A and B are shown apart, each in its own frame.
Chain A
Amino acid sequence: MKVLIRHQKREVQVQGARRVRDLLVELGINPESVLVIRGSALLTHDARVGDEDTVELRPVVSGGETA
């Protein structure tokens, strides 16, 4: 599958179906810090993604001065 990692501005190819949670662990990404999107749908961490999928990891953390 194709995985777009938006905050790292990179794209990786991952072989084989697996759960979202396992994909994030393999990529070293904290699940708290991203939303996982397939097409226009959000995926929960137990959802399965497969070779034919394109998955976007969208960062949710924004920073800077927040006071």
Chain B
Amino acid sequence: MRCRKCAAGATVELRRHHTAFCNEHFLEFFERQVQRAVEHERMFTPDDRVLVAVSGGKDSLALWDVLRRLGYQTTGLYINLGIGEYSAESHRKSVAYAESRQAELILADIPETYGMGVEDFARATGRVSCSACGLSKRYLFNKVAREGGFTVVATGHNLDDEAAVLLGNLLHWQTEYLARQAPVLDSTHPGLVKKVKPFFRIAEREAAAYAIIRGIDYIVDECPNSVGARSLLYKEALNVLEQAAPGTKQSLYWGFLEHGRPLVQGRGDADLRACLHCGQPTTGDVCAFCRMTERAAERMRIRRAGVPTATTSTTSTASIS
């Protein structure tokens, strides 16, 4: 197989595009795809300060890397979720990337700030771990971005992630979730920071290929809590379809953005107000994160037989520059 641009030996085949590239021209293609997504969807400009959510995995580190190379003003945000050795390793990978590139990284530490990790939140409140984790991350992305004066939060969600979420939402006809699924979620409240997904055009294996070719040392092992996650089942099903019919995931998700989303847009929109406890935007009086952490703290206090447990709503941050 030969590179479409230079006819050298190809290293990455893109079946959905009926093409293949050598390392050099794959990187060129990849960066152009991201640049196009950022510009076409009006995600941000070189004047924006972009907070990039990094987990130490391939997608987030690749995203941070490509945005830095494209000349955007970026700062990484790593959140310690308190998931044992997995969190320790993902922390090491994130810090190592930042230090080796002299990039600024903000560290937020859930166990240090809230007295327990996301698995404890889940156990105490009857949520599945991935739900408690997702809620915690979304909360902290917004909180750290607001406090740091960032204009936009960028996450490494890729085409496969979005197609799998879409499939799940379609299978259960979650129209409110469908309405909120987009590569750009604009700020609809002064306290809500815009969120963007610059990799929505990028397949998961392309992000992995980018990370490997660029020599990015990322955490390969998966979060132990993701074993059996429904999203993995949807991805497996989509990969079976993709193998038989290249372009299926792209067609599903991009087709939804063009044809499906306009039909459901606006559903589930609710007025936002400041949480009475922490001030972050919420649809009720107290936000879901405060309710979860307060309930978890109460459970822990009861378990410890009357020993009071203090909780704070501040985020511990430290910078590496």
Interface residues, chain A, with chain B CB atoms under 8 Å away? 6-7, 30-35, 37, 40-47, 58-67
Contacts of B23 in A (CB 8 A): 42
Q: Which single member of B20, B133, B239, B240 contacts A64 (CB below 8 Å)?
A: B133
Contacts of A58 in B (CB 8 A): 208, 212, 220
Q: How far is the CA of A23 from the CA of B41 in the complex (A)?
A: 40
A66 touches B177 (CB 8 A): no
A30 touches B209 (CB 8 A): no
Using known A-B contacts A63-B231, A64-B229, A65-B131, determine if residue A35 contacts B208 with beta carbons closer than 8 Å: yes
Task: List 20 additional contacts besides A31-B243, A60-B208, A61-B160; criterion CB under 8 Å.
Answer: A6-B220, A33-B205, A41-B11, A42-B12, A44-B1, A45-B13, A60-B58, A60-B205, A61-B232, A61-B235, A61-B236, A62-B58, A62-B226, A63-B226, A64-B231, A65-B134, A65-B231, A66-B157, A66-B162, A67-B134
Contacts of B7 in A (CB 8 A): none
Answer whether residue B65 sits at the interface, using C-beta atoms and an 8 A cutoff. Answer: no
A64 touches B223 (CB 8 A): yes
Interface residues, chain B, with chain A CB atoms under 8 Å away? 1, 10-13, 20, 23, 57-59, 130-131, 133-134, 157, 160-162, 164-165, 177, 181, 204-205, 207-209, 212-213, 220, 222-223, 225-226, 229, 231-232, 235-236, 239-240, 242-243
Using known A-B contacts A31-B243, A32-B205, A42-B212, determine if residue A64 contacts B225 with beta carbons closer than 8 Å: yes
Q: How far is the CA of A6 from the CA of B240 in the complex (A)?
A: 20
